[in-house]
Structure formats: C-alpha cells, structure tokens
Amino acid sequence: MLTSVIIPCRNEGSYIEACLRSVLGFEPPAGGFEVIVADGMSDDGTRDVVARIAAEDSRVRLVDNPQRITPCGLNAAIRSARGEIIVRIDAHTQYAPDYLRQCVTTLMETGADQVGGPWLARGRTYLQRCVAAAFNSRFAVGGARLHRVEYEGPIDSIYLGCWRRAVLERLGLFDEELVRNQDDELCFRLLRAGGTLWQSPRIKSWYTPRDSLKGLFRQYFQYGYWKVRVIQKHRMPAAFRHLVPGAFVATLLVLAAAASFFTSAALTLAALCNLYLLTLMLASVGTAASRDWTMLPALPAVFACFHLGYGTGFLFGMGDFLLLRRHSGRFVALTRR
C-alpha cells in the first residue's frame, strides 16, 4: 500500500533540500512511498531545488499551488497523490528516521482516522533555542496535550498528521479559506463526524521555530486571528487557553484608555503590568533553570510574543469576523512572506 508524503511550501530555499533529503532517507513503510511538493510559486530558487532532486529520484514530484497559501497547497498535493495513506510533512521540521514508518504503523494499529506525534520544537540559533524552550513550556502553550512528549492516546488536535486518503476525501479536504488554523479546523470536522485522533510519542519530530521576535509575534498574531474564524464558522466553543490572551490584551487596552480619566484605572493597569512582568520573570527563570541559563535574557520577550501576539490577533479577528463580517486581505498577504 503506497504512502504519499505531501509537503506544502513557498520560498523555502534555505530548508527544502535538507527536508527532502531527510524524507527520502526515511525508513520506508510497507508498500513504499512517494513525495509530492506543492510549491506556492516560489521566487527564491525553491522550485529549482525540488526539480533537481525530482530528476535524481523518481519518487519526488512537484505540483503548482498558484493560490500560494498552505491549505490550497495541501489540497493540490492530495489530489495529485497516488497513495492510499497521506502523511503531511513541514519543511521547517526535523524528523526521526522512522517517522514515516511509525505514522503508518500507528494508523494501522490504532484504527484511528488521524495520527501524529507531539508538537515539540528544537532551535539552531540562540533565539530559536529560546523560542523552542518557551514553546515546550506550559506557560506559553497552556498545557495542551499536543505538546506533552510522553502522552499517548486520544486528542482533539494533531501536529501535521497521517490519514487514510479516503478519510480526507470524505471530509472534503482542507478548508481553503483558512490561511492559518486549517489543520485545527480539519481536526474539528473529523471529531464532529465521529472520527478519532490519536497521538503517539513513537512519532518523533521537532519543529524549527521563528528566528526573530517580529516573526514570532506575527506568527501568533495570525494564529489568534484565524482561530476566531474557525470558532465562528463552526459555532464551536473556544477553549479557555484560546480566550485568555485576548481577554488579557483587551483588559490592558481598556485600562490604558481609561487611565487618563480615572486614577483607579491607572493604578489597576500598573498593578496588572507589574504582575505580568513578575510572572514572565518567574516563568523565564524556571525555563532557563531547566534548559540553559544563557536563555534568561531573551525568554521574557519570547513569552510576551506568544501571549500578546495571539491575544492581539484574536481581538483583530473578533473585529473583522464577528463585527465587520469579513477578513482583512493584509493578513492573508502577511502569511505569504
């Protein structure tokens, strides 16, 4: 039974060759595998790299994604796939050599509709290592089981994923409106249809995070922004961890606006900011103590980017999707860079 590995990408010239070499070196599952790269019309040499490797190895194919966003690339790759099993790969992630085999084995053994491993991060540069340390902590991600390295069992969302092709076709593939959060939305539709998601620690991968605070803030802004659309579209209840960053940012804005008129608001704002800064420092010290003390200077800013980026994006999403009933084209363009 052939397995199809799908890789959506755009302007990944710095990563795509290492990613493909890693994938082609995977321990093959029974039936072998093919690799389909859905490229969003890259202009940085990514397409040339993929074409060169495809000429060397017939398992690799390049398909176009003229819409340039992730869900369209995923769907283009799935439609071009020949395999009965689909495994999603991200160009910014490192994988254990047995990643593909473990995905297929877990899918068969559990009978689940979608399987995957924990979402962990590992950096190369100093800032990436700091982001990875924060990313793997509960203070940044709210203790979701998705980030628990040893957890095995049912779950409500999965990083990347492995499916039977028939399951994806039955669901209607990925929602092409969603520039971000299309994976969460697919998981929600699968669960609502009575399906099962399963996480296994045997499926090992390590995401490579953003290498700048600006990029990190922008990434989590987008996550928060598009999460509102998913909640609105399916009238689904938001998890507590999704609401807290937006509520925190909204409280800061209200208090800041009122501080010029009310002394009590100014005092409350100062107290809240000081409490948050203290919490940032405590979380940063705890994370640095368990990982590397040299990370301490950067960790407070990294944690703040997670919280404030997501919270600000969530508020913008509420304004656009719930009040104005549309989404901003600039936030679509933002995700393509």
pLDDT in tens, 70-105: 999 999 999 999 999 999 999 989 999 999 999 999
Residue 55: partners with Cβ closer than 8 Å, 6 or more residues away: none
The CA dihedral of 243, 244, 247, 253, to the nearest 10 degrees, is -140
Q: Cα separation of 14 and 156, whole Å?
A: 32
Kind plus residue range of the DSSP H or E element containing 55 = helix 46-56
Q: 97 and 159 share a domain? A: yes
The CA dihedral of 329, 331, 332, 333, to the nearest 10 degrees, is 90
Over the stretch 271-326, which tens digit does the pLDDT of each residue have? 999 999 999 999 999 999 999 999 999 999 999 999 999 999 999 999 988 887 76
Q: Is the pLDDT of residue 333 over 70?
A: no
Q: 186 and 259 share a domain? A: no
**The CATH number of the domain where 20 resides is what?**
3.90.550.10
Q: 266 and 203 share a domain? A: no
Confidence tier at 238 by pLDDT (50, 70, 90): low
Q: Cα separation of 313 and 221, whole Å?
A: 4
Q: Is the pLDDT of residue 335 over 60?
A: no
Residue 269: partners with Cβ closer than 8 Å, 6 or more residues away: 252, 255, 256, 259
Name the residue range of residue 269's domain.
214-334
Q: 181 and 265 share a domain? A: no
Q: Average the pLDDT over 51-64 and give the result.
A: 96
Mean pLDDT taken over the chain: 92
User: What are the b/e assignments for 36-63, b being 16+ CB within 10 Å?
Assistant: bbbbbebeeebbebbeebbeeeebbbbb
Q: 49 and 133 share a domain? A: yes
Kind plus residue range of the DSSP H or E element containing 53 = helix 46-56
Over the stretch 3-43, which tens digit does the pLDDT of each residue have? 999 999 999 988 899 999 999 999 999 999 999 999 999 99
